[in-house]
Amino acid sequence: MPAVLAYVGAALVAVWGLAHAIPTRQVLASFEPVTADNRRIILQEWLAEALTMWGIAVIVIAATATPGTSADIRVWVYRAASALLISLGTLTALTGARTLVIWFKICPALLAVAAFLLLFASFQ
């Protein structure tokens, strides 16, 4: 059961990362007019969050799927990933979710669900 929870949590985060990356061009356009440097910074930060989500998903999947991985390592991978997801969700709740953009409002809840799944898996 812990493996299923971990895979579901990782898949949720990976798909949300993809959903985050797909509209990048539209997001950048919504900030126009903006200087070239500011455009690069917005692009960097927007994609950094998607890459972070994918990285979390890959690490959780690797820890879960690799034969011979000790239960102790999996527990701490799940807990660390959960803490990072809660941190990202909190950052989003304090910043982007305060805008009118619905996706920013959904993000903290979605990341919290994934974090809960991983945390729950760590105690199984």
Residue with tokens 């996706």: 103
Model confidence at 31: pLDDT above 90? no
Q: Does residue 99 carry a pLDDT above 90?
A: no
- Percentage above 70 pLDDT, the chain: 100
Q: Where are the chain's structural domains?
A: 2-122
For the segment 24-32, the average pLDDT, to the nearest whole number, is 88
pTM: 0.90
Residue 118 has pLDDT above 90, yes or no: yes
Mean pLDDT score, 62-75: 92
Report the alpha-carbon distance of residue 90 to residue 93 in Å, rounded: 5
DSSP codes of every residue in 43-103: HHHHHHHHHHHHHHHHHHHHHHHSTT--HHHHHHHHHHHHHHHHHHHHHHHHTGGGSS-HH
- The pLDDT of 51-74, averaged and rounded, is 94
**pLDDT score, position 100:** 86
User: How far is Cα 9 from Cα 51, in angstroms, rounded to an integer?
Assistant: 16
Count Cβ atoms below 10 Å from residue 43 Cβ, excluding itself. 15
Give the pLDDT of residue 49. Answer: 93
Q: How many CA atoms lie within 13 A of 59 on its CB side?
A: 19
Position 57 scores a pLDDT of 98
Taking 90 as the threshold, does the pLDDT of residue 104 lie above it?
no
